[in-house]
Amino acid sequence: MPQGDLDVLFSNIDDIIKVNSRFLHDLQETASKKEEQVQLVGNLFLEFQEELEQVYKVYCASYDQALLLVDTYRKEPELQRHIQGIIEAVVPQAGSSGLSFLLVIPLQRITRYPLLLQKILENTVPDASAYPVLQRAVSALQDVNTNINEHKMRKEVASKYTKVEQLTLRERLARINTHTLSKKTTRLSQMLKQEAGLIPRTEDKEFDDLEERFQWVSLCVTELKNNVAAYLDNLQTFLCFRTHEYSLDIPEGPAVQYCNLARDLQLEAFLTFKQRLEGLVWQPLCSLAKALLGPQNLIKKRLDKLLDFERLEEKLLEVGSVTYQEEAARHTYQALNSLLVAELPQFNQLVVQWLGQILRTFMTLQRDLAKQVLQRAEGSMAQLPHHHVPEPAFRKLVEDALGRTNNQLRSFQETFEKVLPPPTTQPLLPGSERQVQALLSRYGPGKLYQVTSNISGTGTLDLTLPRGQIVALLQNKDTKGNSSRWLVDTGGHRGYVPAGKLQPYHVVPSAEELRRQVGLNKDPRCLTPEPSPAPAPSIPTVNQVIAVYPFVARSSHEVSLQAGQPVTILEAQDKKGNPEWSLVEVNEQRGYVPSGFLAGAPSPVLWGWSLPS
């Protein structure tokens, strides 16, 4: 039988046996004192009152679950016969009741104690010294049974409302009926009256303080879970970069030592650290976050039941009575509130302890990783050229090296920016040159934007625009202050478009202007090509040129280009004689591209940059 089944069936039976064993031992000792035995028995029950209540509370609360498990065993005949055989061999008086007979014995014992004491009290003369002791003992054991029943009822209510159900929208709608709508409407009305100050709100400072503490603890768990998740993601990204596998073309020396150390750490130390982090920190943290869901549901349900309770209290004051269902609703709130007030302090304390243990484990894992890395690197560091340098001098050496590298990178960046091609711009739509010139003359180049993807307007003031359309920005927000909708002018219509589908438009020079600029530029380091003779419009020519800008084909008549890609011009115009579009061949594919995106092959003179020494 699984250990989980045994825990459900017998709960804390070991604790009950321990308490009753001590109780029996002390009870047997009273037999030698016959004159004072009755009084000693009464005092003994008073002494064990608290312990009996605590252990039997737990057992009785889980008794119904144990019976459900017994019912499942009855559906498996072979398992049932095996259990019955063991019980008959050990406890013959159990008979056919079997496991149910054993499970009910502790319940019967605690309920019989008040009856036995009451019987002793009835046979004791009122003027006896033991009489008041017995009265207190009878009352105490009755209170024990009452408290056990209340605790059991609270647990049943908690079990009902702590279930986290993942329901679809269809399933949620199927649960809606007139009763649920009436309840929710009444609660909403009650809440609105309280917010408006028409009726007083029930104040419970004890519960409010406990809930505030719980919400604070929940926030700490959530934040830590998010941080550990981000830590694991970054760790996984770090493990994906296997620098030791790159070929450095350095046959020996410190580089080889570094690669060996990096390989050792990557395959063993860091991988082991990640596995331990997931098992000892992440999984317990997820379990802790899951454990918070039950109390969160109870707190939320308590608010609903509190609204019902307050409404019923008003009715009770006005009418003087409530129905059976309404009385049950009052008891449900009282049970939920009592359960939360009794158990939230312990729960908060356990969560804080659990959270502290997770943090300590996390720090221990990091300390072990650092220690392991230092141990593995000790042999390799001894072979490095600077291992004999004192730490302050080595720190200064590293800072100087990083400073020199930073200067080199800055110089590299500045040089690289000089040779970068202009920003990528989508080609203009055929026939839109006049519209662009009109917008440019009216608003200036700083206000022009280009549509990066097709826009389909959904509202009355929204525009529908194709990719490549040029617009002028009028206002970078709508009338409600939403900065994600911009007011633009297309040259004929004004309306709103998504800001995320616009990019600044950089005016692309025409083919003639580009060739004229090329002819003026004689810098051998520049990517701009030398001018090539313009082909005759009527005679197809074949020229080898270079794509200056990338271009994305928008139809089957066009072909895509990559910046710097060699291109063969077949015709320097389209079928209508428009020189703005050229028929080209790229990677054995033919199609039209904007002529302004092409330039002659660059000069063979070397160009580029060099890193400073």
Question: Residue 200 in 3-state DSSP?
Answer: coil
- Of 157 and 561, the structure prediction assigns the larger pLDDT to 561
**Mean pLDDT in residue range 224-251:** 83
Indicate the DSSP class of residue 2.
-
CATH number for the domain running over 544-594? 2.30.30.40
- The fold of the 432-504 domain, in CATH, is SH3 type barrels. (2.30.30)
- pLDDT higher at 116 or 65: 116
Q: Is the dihedral of CA 493, 497, 500, 501 positive or negative?
A: negative
Question: Residue 506: is its pLDDT beyond 80?
Answer: no
The SS3 of residue 576 is coil
The residue type at 322:
V
How far, CA to CA in Å, does 183 sit from each of 188, 370, 526?
9, 59, 77
**pLDDT number for residue 34:** 75
Q: CA distances (Å), 532 to each of 181, 340, 511, 546, in order?
A: 80, 86, 11, 11
Fold for 202-382, please state it. Answer: Substrate Binding Domain Of Dnak; Chain:A; Domain 2 (1.20.1270)
Read off the tokens for 452: 């990066």
For the segment 401-420, the average pLDDT, to the nearest whole number, is 80
Span 260-283, mean pLDDT?
Answer: 88
Q: What is the mean pLDDT of residues 389-403?
A: 87
Does residue 52 have a pLDDT over 80? yes
Q: Is the dihedral of CA 80, 81, 84, 89 positive or negative?
A: negative
Specify the pLDDT at position 164. Answer: 55
pLDDT digits (tens, 9 = 90+) for 98-144: 778 788 888 888 999 999 999 999 988 888 888 999 999 999 999 99
Predicted local distance difference test score (pLDDT) of residue 420: 55
Burial of 498 (0-12, 13-18, 19+ CB in 10 A): middle
- Of 546-555, 562-571, 603-612, least confident by mean pLDDT is 603-612
Are 452 and 435 contacting, i.e. CB atoms less than 8 angstroms apart? no
Question: What's the CA gap between 306 and 187, in Å, rounded?
Answer: 9
Q: What is the mean pLDDT of the chain?
A: 80
Per-residue pLDDT at 156:
75
User: Which is more confident, 366 or 421?
Assistant: 366
| pLDDT tier for residue 612 given thresholds of 50, 70 and 90 | very low
The sign of the torsion formed by the CA atoms of 160, 161, 164, 166 equals positive
Cα–Cα distance for residue pair 501/473, rounded to 1 Å? 13
Confidence category of residue 285, pLDDT binned at 50, 70, 90: very high
The mean pLDDT of 173-180, rounded to a whole number, is 69
46 contacts 133 by C-beta, under 8 angstroms: yes
Question: Strand order of the sheet with strand 485-489?
Answer: 494-498, 485-489, 470-475, 448-451, 502-504
pLDDT at 1 over 70: no
> pLDDT tens, 474-504?
999 888 888 889 999 988 888 999 998 898 8
Place of tokens 């409600």: 480
What is the C-alpha to C-alpha distance for residues 297 and 290, in angstroms, rounded to an integer?
Answer: 12
Rg of the chain, C-alpha, whole Å: 42
* Whether pLDDT at 67 is above 80: yes
Measure the CA–CA gap between 67 and 151, rounded to whole angstroms: 18
In the chain, what are the domain boundaries?
Answer: 3-162, 202-382, 390-420, 432-504, 544-594
**Is residue 607 predicted with pLDDT exceeding 80?**
no
* pLDDT for position 602: 47
Contact 542, 592 (CB under 8 A): no
Q: Give pLDDT tens digits for 511-557.
A: 555 455 544 444 443 333 334 444 433 334 447 888 878 888 888 88
pLDDT of res. 196? 75
570 Cβ neighbours under 8 A, 6+ residues apart: 540, 542, 582, 583, 584, 585, 590
Higher pLDDT residue, 464 or 257?
Answer: 464
pLDDT digits (tens, 9 = 90+) for 293-318: 888 888 888 888 888 888 888 888 88
Q: Is the pLDDT of residue 224 over 90?
A: yes
CATH number of 3-162: 1.20.900.10
- Tell me which residue of 142, 275, 298 sits closest to 214, measured CA to CA: 298
Q: What pLDDT sits at residue 251?
A: 64
Residue type, 395: R
Report the candidate in 306, 301, 330 with the shortest Cα–Cα distance to residue 194: 306
Do the Cβ atoms of 496 and 481 come closer than 8 Å? no
Phi-psi region of 468 (alpha: psi -120 to 50; beta: other; left: phi over 0): left
Residues 6+ apart with CB under 8 A from 292: 218, 221, 351
Give the per-residue pLDDT at 522. Answer: 42
C-beta neighbour count of 428 within 10 angstroms: 20
Q: Span 225-244, mean pLDDT? A: 88
The answer to whether residues 452 and 501 touch, using CB atoms and an 8 Å cutoff, is yes
Q: What is the pLDDT of residue 354?
A: 93
